[in-house]
Structure 1
Amino acid sequence: MDPHRLQWRAVSKAGRGARSLFSKVPKAEAVMERVGRLARRKLGARVVLGADRLAMELHPAAKVALVAPADGVLELTIDAAFVGPGLAGYVLAQVELLLHEVDFVWQADAEGDAVSSPRDAAALQRGFAAWVKEQVAARAQGGSRQIGIPQDPQSELAGAVLLPLGPRDEPWCQAVLADPEAARDGWPLWQPATEATLALARGLWHLWMEVPWRAVTTDEDHALLARAHRELAAAFRLDASLPLPWAEWAELVDQMDLDDEVTAEVRARGVDGTPVAGYRRHPARFAVNHGWSLLLPAHCTITRQDDADTLAAADGERSLRCTCAESTGESAAAILAKIPMRSDVVERFDQGGQLGRIERREDEDYGVCVATGIMTTEDHAAVLTVLALPGDDEWALAVWRSLRRA
């Protein structure tokens, strides 16, 4: 199992030792129902309960689940790749409260090894650091440079590696290869988490991965900014000594047009800083399907269609739709020739076995320019439709030119 994906097992005291003659092992479903009620009351975390599974949403990207694979057995799984090893100790302490209530105790991890102290922070850090070292080393062999963040989209932000707390350069990578625990500054929860640092980790995730860093245009935008502000404010209230991202937070409250005692201090502390957090400040390559991808401003609003072959995006008054398809046994030229031309061709593409063309027309009824771009390779095609204001042709051309198939 990967060191960032941790697992522990707990067992019921019933039916064991001196109790074995006088108590019955509880049914899995009954245990999970009770654990779910306790979690909602004691932990205050958002809990999603199934028949044999309980998910705890402590962080937007951390996966924490308690499952009952059999009567009298509970297994806790924590995937901390996006947040760091410090999440585990916090979760274990919270789950122990639940185990005590349902009369369960830790037994062993999923590998069958004895667990003397499941919250051994140093051991968790060493295991996580070793995993980071492996990922950094794999990058040189063609592995991803995005470590601890989603693989889609692929950010164009400069850096040898891209981490939850931003890009790091080649000297950083060499330092990690020499001493894996030098990776500690790339994740928000390296040390054992507290309520304050967990709130900060949630806020930083919103800033780095989700906030679009453009004018607020939708209710969803406003709700996202509000969540980020709420988490940062909670972290500040719980521990004012934390290294808060003052410049980014100030930019956030300015976008939201907030004005209160907290935001006044945020603006005062952030006025001299330069905001850097935010992968969505930079272009990124988004996967569509069948190996196709395209380069877009990462602040675009992205929608995946139900058929999985279509990606839609909006950037202010610009919008696009890209659909991919397979055509087995046909060359790129044959596929391109089969697609009828409906307006004047603005540009053609012929490079590395990939062919394409883009057409343009103006829709006078709606006052927009409609560009239809096509790219083909052997057995595959991608069709891009862009709606933009007249005179904004270069944006449509740039997106079409960026269409590539791996």
Structure 2
Amino acid sequence: MGLGLHVLGRWRQENVQPELLERWFRRHCGSALLEARILDGDDESTLFVSIHPAAEDVEVMVSNDGRVVVSAKTSTVGPGYHQYLASLLHRLGNDQGIDWAAPGENEGTGDETGYFETGDRGALEREMLAWLRRLANALLEHLADSSVSNLQVGMAVGHSYACEGAIMTPLGPRSREWIQRVSSDPTQGIDLFPWWPEGLGANYYLGMALVRMWTDIRWRPPVSESETATLRETLGWLEAARQFDSQLEYPMAEWREIASALGERVTLPVPDGTPPAAIGYRRRPTWVAITEGWSIQIPGEFAEAWDDGTWTAWDDTAGIWFSSYAFEGAGRPCMEVLDDALTNAPALRSEIIERQSEHLAGRAGVGPANAHSSTWFLTGVLAHSAGFSICTIEFEGPARKAWAVEIWQSIRWVDST
């Protein structure tokens, strides 16, 4: 459910080179480009272009016969983003000799708002607001079921967060009352879109920064080069927004917190009554969908990465390593799978913790690395009918033993077949 672009074109030149398109996007997007990468196939290549942290990648598929297909979902970001992409693609066509298909020429392609063909900003806004009303109505239907909670709208898959509100959005949670107001009058929900106005101005930069603050920043000193880069980029967006318009409402407490995490001092006007820092889903526990039905709840400030098939999460005080394994077929008793898994798992430490439920059986051992060490480890094995997982948690114990046990106990598995 969403609005976007799905336009088809034909490249006039015979020698199709996706690298030419990548270079073009890098040159013409400039600082607006977050990332660009090419995935090569046998008969076609796809260029993935990231322009906004609240948007899915723009996909530019180029086939060997010169066909170009561009797909982008824009309703998660707003009409400013839609307008920017449409303008960008028209320039791409002019510069690279790509002829875009006329409306209705190919079924299933085109601009659902009509803006790509007409350039009518008013019509674009009306379509976005109509979509927003439909979304609000659909959300109210879902929320009528008392078992539904923490719905996510426009959020990246794989993570969910503990927050107050009926839904989570890239710009923070929204209440049921907010949804009801939007259902009656969608203009009341323009604050859902991080890029509503036209152009790369103050609202564009502030929206970028706010999305990063809500979804990506861990609210502690960085533990990697990529985290440092994210914090510096966010500060740059905030400063760019203020240079365009110093009168907007800025998250001053969070701005100072980011600068402090980088060890920097900033001079910011902080009016009386400025609220304390509150932006950021990662201030709270975070559920992570890892792989093959497995999920775990971790501290929101933990960094995450994959390393040779193992998922890891850490900060400067503790670390988590998780791997999962699947068997051919299914239907074996969990305890039988657990017994087999334990024969291949690292030896468990002396203090044993058992888990048993309808779908999972597990055993963990916890204790110090050695008799003289302050570093403790918990290693746990969890088995279901067709596979198992091994999770190791390193921490400073014994004061944090209960914390490590709670993380292992949070691991869930849901049959996704």
Deviation digits for residues 272-306 of structure 1 (CA, Å, limit 9, x no counterpart): 32212111111011112221211111111112244
Distance 2:100 2:332 in 1: 62
* Cα displacement (A) at 1:75: 4.2
Q: How many residues align?
A: 386
**Structure 2 counterparts to residues 11-160 of structure 1, below 5 A:** 25-27=12-14, 29=16, 38-44=24-30, 45-46=32-33, 48=36, 54-62=47-55, 63-68=57-62, 74-102=68-96, 104=99, 107-108=102-103, 111=108, 115-117=117-119, 119=121, 120-130=123-133, 132-133=135-136, 136-137=139-140, 139-140=142-143, 145-160=151-166
Moved more, 269-278 or 33-42: 33-42
Does the CA-based 8 Å contact 1:344-1:360 persist in structure 2?
yes
Structure 2 partner of 1:18: none
- Look up the equivalent residue of 2:409 and give its one-letter code: R
Structure 2 partner of 1:275: 277
Does the CA-based 8 Å contact 1:80-1:88 persist in structure 2?
yes
1:401 aligns with 2:409: yes
Distance 2:350 2:392 in 1: 15
Distance 1:398 1:72, change over 3 A: closer
Does the CA-based 8 Å contact 2:203-2:241 persist in structure 1?
yes
Indicate the percent of aligned positions where both proteins have the same amino acid: 22
- Look up the equivalent residue of 2:382 and give its one-letter code: M
TM-score (normalised: structure 2): 0.80
Does the CA-based 8 Å contact 1:288-1:324 persist in structure 2?
no
**Structure 2 counterparts to residues 124-273 of structure 1, below 5 A:** 124-130=127-133, 132-133=135-136, 136-137=139-140, 139-140=142-143, 145-259=151-265, 263-265=266-268, 268-269=270-271, 272-273=274-275
TM-score (normalised: structure 1): 0.82
Structure 1 residue matching 2:128: 3-state secondary structure: helix
* Cα displacement (A) at 1:201: 2.2
Structure 1 residue matching 2:223: 3-state secondary structure: coil
Distance 2:389 2:19 in 1: 48
Moved more, 144-153 or 349-358: 349-358
Does the CA-based 8 Å contact 1:301-1:314 persist in structure 2?
yes
- Look up the equivalent residue of 2:319 and give its one-letter code: S
Structure 1 residue matching 2:152: 3-state secondary structure: coil
**Structure 2 counterparts to residues 294-373 of structure 1, below 5 A:** 294-307=296-309, 310-327=310-327, 328-338=330-340, 339=342, 342-364=348-370, 367-373=374-380
1:388 aligns with 2:388: no
Deviation digits for residues 199-242 of structure 1 (CA, Å, limit 9, x no counterpart): 22221222111110123333333222111101111111122233
Does the CA-based 8 Å contact 2:79-2:125 persist in structure 1?
no
Distance 2:212 2:19 in 1: 32
Distance 1:122 1:324 in 2: 46
Distance 2:135 2:248 in 1: 25
* Cα displacement (A) at 1:9: 4.5
Q: Aligned Cα RMSD in Å?
A: 3.2
Does the CA-based 8 Å contact 1:3-1:127 persist in structure 2?
no
Structure 2 residue matching 1:250: 3-state secondary structure: helix
2:290 to 263, 288, 291: 288
Does the CA-based 8 Å contact 1:250-1:270 persist in structure 2?
no
Distance 1:265 1:345 in 2: 52
Structure 1 residue matching 2:291: 3-state secondary structure: coil
Distance 1:179 1:222 in 2: 41
Does the CA-based 8 Å contact 2:150-2:168 persist in structure 1?
no
Distance 2:339 2:48 in 1: 51
Distance 1:127 1:76, change over 3 A: farther
Distance 1:270 1:228, change over 3 A: farther
Moved more, 195-204 or 33-42: 33-42
Structure 2 residue matching 1:288: 3-state secondary structure: strand
Structure 1 residue matching 2:278: 3-state secondary structure: coil
* Cα displacement (A) at 1:325: 2.3
Structure 1: unaligned runs, 5 residues or longer:
13-24
* Cα displacement (A) at 1:356: 2.4
Moved more, 199-208 or 78-87: 78-87
